[in-house]
Chains A and B, each alone.
Chain A
Amino acid sequence: MNKHNGGYFRQILHIDMTSGASRTEAIDDEFIASYIGGRGFAIKLLWDNLEKNSPFDPLGPENMLVVAAGPLTGVYLPSSGKNSFASISPATGLFGDSSMGGGFGVELRQAGYDAVAVVGKAEQLSYLFIDDDRISIVPCPELKGKGNLETEGRIRDMLGDHDVRVASIGVAGENLVRFACVTSDWSRNAGRTGIGAVMGSKNLKAIAARGHRDLPVDNIDKVIEISEQAYKELGAHDMMGHWQKQGLMGVIDYANVMGILPTYNFRDTHWEKSKSINGKTMLAGHKIGNTACFGCPMCCGNINLVKEGKWAGTVTEGPEYETAAMLGSNLGVDNFASILRGNYLCDDLGLDTISTGNLIAAVIEGYEKDLLTLDDLDGKPIAWGDDDRIMELIEQIARCESIGATIALGAKGVLERWPQLSPIVLHVKGLEQSAYDCRGASSMALAYGTSDIGAHHTRAWTVGKELEMGADWGIAEKVDLVIHHQHIRSLFDMFGVCRLPWIELGFHEDFYARLYSAVVGRQYSLDDLLVKSQHMYDMTRAINCKLGATRGDDYPPARTFIPIHSGPLAGKVCNKEEYEKMLALYYEKRGWDEQGRPQIACD
Chain B
Amino acid sequence: MRRKIAVVPERCSGCRVCEMACAIHRQRANNPKKARIRVTTIYPHPVVRMPVVCNQCKDAKCMSACPTDAIYRRNGVVRIRHDDCIGCHACVDACPFGAMYIHPDIDVPLKCDLCEDNGRPQCVKMCPTGAILFMPEHVFGQAHRLNNVLSYTHMKEIEYTEGGKPKRLHYADNNAAEGRDGKGGRR
Interface residues of A (CB under 8 A from B): 74-76, 103, 106, 110, 149, 162, 185-187, 211-217, 220, 223-224, 228, 231, 234-235, 244, 288-299, 301, 303, 315-317
| Segment from B16-24, B80-88, B156-164, B175-183 that makes contact with A | B16-24
Known: A110-B33, A215-B31, A297-B128. A76 touches B20 (CB 8 A): yes
10 A-B pairs in the complex with CB atoms less than 8 angstroms apart: A103-B16, A185-B43, A215-B30, A217-B30, A231-B128, A234-B128, A244-B13, A292-B15, A297-B15, A299-B15
Shortest Cβ distance from A224 into B: residue: B24
Shortest Cβ distance from B11 into A: residue: A290
Cβ–Cβ contact B16 & A294, under 8 A: yes
Cβ–Cβ contact B128 & A299, under 8 A: yes
The minimal Cβ–Cβ distance linking B132 to chain A, given in whole angstroms, is 13
Cβ–Cβ contact B31 & A214, under 8 A: yes
Cβ–Cβ contact A75 & B30, under 8 A: yes
Shortest Cβ distance from B43 into A: residue: A186
Chain B residues within 8 Å of A110, by CB: 31, 33
The minimal Cβ–Cβ distance linking A152 to chain B, given in whole angstroms, is 9
Chain A residues within 8 Å of B128, by CB: 231, 234-235, 244, 297-299
Cβ–Cβ contact A231 & B44, under 8 A: no
B126 contacts partner chain A, Cβ-Cβ < 8 Å: yes
From B24, B30, B41, B129, contact of A299 by CB (8 A): B129
User: In the complex, what distance in Å separates the CA atom of A96 from the CA atom of B43?
Assistant: 30
Cβ–Cβ contact A291 & B45, under 8 A: no
B138 contacts partner chain A, Cβ-Cβ < 8 Å: no
B141 contacts partner chain A, Cβ-Cβ < 8 Å: no
Q: How many residues of B contact A (CB 8 A)?
A: 31
Interface residues of B (CB under 8 A from A): 10-11, 13-17, 20-21, 24-25, 28-34, 40-41, 43-45, 47, 49, 103-105, 126, 128-129
Chain B residues within 8 Å of A295, by CB: 15-17, 20
From B25, B40, B129, contact of A224 by CB (8 A): B25
Chain A residues within 8 Å of B44, by CB: 149, 186, 315-316
User: In the complex, what distance in Å separates the CA atom of A583 from the CA atom of B31?
Assistant: 46
Shortest Cβ distance from A316 into B: residue: B44
Interchain residue pairs A-B with the least CB separation, the first 8: A297-B128, A299-B13, A292-B15, A292-B13, A315-B44, A290-B13, A214-B31, A215-B30
Cβ–Cβ contact A315 & B17, under 8 A: no
User: In the complex, what distance in Å separates the CA atom of A228 from the CA atom of B24?
Assistant: 12
Chain B residues within 8 Å of A297, by CB: 15, 17, 128-129
The minimal Cβ–Cβ distance linking B40 to chain A, given in whole angstroms, is 8
Cβ–Cβ contact B13 & A315, under 8 A: no
Chain A residues within 8 Å of B15, by CB: 292-297, 299
Cβ–Cβ contact A231 & B33, under 8 A: no
The minimal Cβ–Cβ distance linking A458 to chain B, given in whole angstroms, is 21
Chain A residues within 8 Å of B21, by CB: 76
The minimal Cβ–Cβ distance linking A72 to chain B, given in whole angstroms, is 10
Cβ–Cβ contact A289 & B30, under 8 A: no
Chain B residues within 8 Å of A211, by CB: 33
Chain B residues within 8 Å of A231, by CB: 17, 126, 128
The minimal Cβ–Cβ distance linking A170 to chain B, given in whole angstroms, is 15
Cβ–Cβ contact A291 & B13, under 8 A: yes
Known: A103-B16, A295-B17. A214 touches B126 (CB 8 A): no
Cβ–Cβ contact B30 & A223, under 8 A: yes
User: In the complex, what distance in Å separates the CA atom of A106 from the CA atom of B19?
Assistant: 13
The minimal Cβ–Cβ distance linking A209 to chain B, given in whole angstroms, is 12
User: In the complex, what distance in Å separates the CA atom of A211 from the CA atom of B105?
Assistant: 12
From B14, B16, B30, contact of A214 by CB (8 A): B30
The minimal Cβ–Cβ distance linking B25 to chain A, given in whole angstroms, is 7
Known: A186-B44, A214-B30. A228 touches B126 (CB 8 A): yes
Shortest Cβ distance from A103 into B: residue: B16
Chain B residues within 8 Å of A296, by CB: 13, 15, 17
Cβ–Cβ contact B30 & A74, under 8 A: yes
User: In the complex, what distance in Å separates the CA atom of A185 from the CA atom of B42?
Assistant: 10
User: In the complex, what distance in Å separates the CA atom of A228 from the CA atom of B47?
Assistant: 29
User: In the complex, what distance in Å separates the CA atom of A289 from the CA atom of B45?
Assistant: 13
The minimal Cβ–Cβ distance linking A448 to chain B, given in whole angstroms, is 32
Interface centre among A211, A217, A220, A290 (most CB of B within 10 A): A290
User: In the complex, what distance in Å separates the CA atom of A298 from the CA atom of B15?
Assistant: 9
User: In the complex, what distance in Å separates the CA atom of A303 from the CA atom of B103?
Assistant: 31
Interface centre among B29, B43, B45 (most CB of A within 10 A): B43
The minimal Cβ–Cβ distance linking B97 to chain A, given in whole angstroms, is 15
Chain A residues within 8 Å of B30, by CB: 74-76, 214-217, 220, 223
From B11, B24, B43, B129, contact of A76 by CB (8 A): B24
User: In the complex, what distance in Å separates the CA atom of A244 from the CA atom of B127?
Assistant: 13
User: In the complex, what distance in Å separates the CA atom of A316 from the CA atom of B104?
Assistant: 35
Shortest Cβ distance from B131 into A: residue: A290
From A212, A217, A220, A234, contact of B104 by CB (8 A): A212
Chain B residues within 8 Å of A303, by CB: 47
The minimal Cβ–Cβ distance linking B26 to chain A, given in whole angstroms, is 12
Chain B residues within 8 Å of A224, by CB: 24-25
Shortest Cβ distance from A75 into B: residue: B30
Chain B residues within 8 Å of A217, by CB: 30
From B20, B49, B103, B104, contact of A291 by CB (8 A): B49
Chain B residues within 8 Å of A289, by CB: 10, 13, 47, 49
Interface centre among B16, B25, B45 (most CB of A within 10 A): B16
The minimal Cβ–Cβ distance linking A250 to chain B, given in whole angstroms, is 17
From B13, B24, B25, B105, contact of A212 by CB (8 A): B105
The minimal Cβ–Cβ distance linking B17 to chain A, given in whole angstroms, is 6
The minimal Cβ–Cβ distance linking A384 to chain B, given in whole angstroms, is 30
Interface centre among B17, B29, B32, B44 (most CB of A within 10 A): B44
From A149, A214, A298, contact of B29 by CB (8 A): A214
Cβ–Cβ contact A220 & B24, under 8 A: yes
Chain A residues within 8 Å of B25, by CB: 224
Chain B residues within 8 Å of A290, by CB: 11, 13, 129
The minimal Cβ–Cβ distance linking B153 to chain A, given in whole angstroms, is 28
Shortest Cβ distance from B24 into A: residue: A76
User: In the complex, what distance in Å separates the CA atom of A291 from the CA atom of B14?
Assistant: 6
Cβ–Cβ contact B129 & A288, under 8 A: no
User: In the complex, what distance in Å separates the CA atom of A203 from the CA atom of B103?
Assistant: 33
User: In the complex, what distance in Å separates the CA atom of A295 from the CA atom of B33?
Assistant: 14
Chain B residues within 8 Å of A301, by CB: 13
The minimal Cβ–Cβ distance linking A232 to chain B, given in whole angstroms, is 10
User: In the complex, what distance in Å separates the CA atom of A103 from the CA atom of B43?
Assistant: 14
User: In the complex, what distance in Å separates the CA atom of A214 from the CA atom of B33?
Assistant: 8
Cβ–Cβ contact B28 & A220, under 8 A: yes
Using A211-B33, A231-B128 as known contacts, list a sample of 12 further A-B pairs with CB atoms less than 8 Å apart, ordered by residue number in A: A74-B30, A76-B24, A110-B31, A185-B43, A212-B103, A220-B24, A223-B30, A234-B128, A289-B47, A299-B15, A303-B47, A315-B43
From B14, B43, B103, contact of A292 by CB (8 A): B14
The minimal Cβ–Cβ distance linking A343 to chain B, given in whole angstroms, is 12
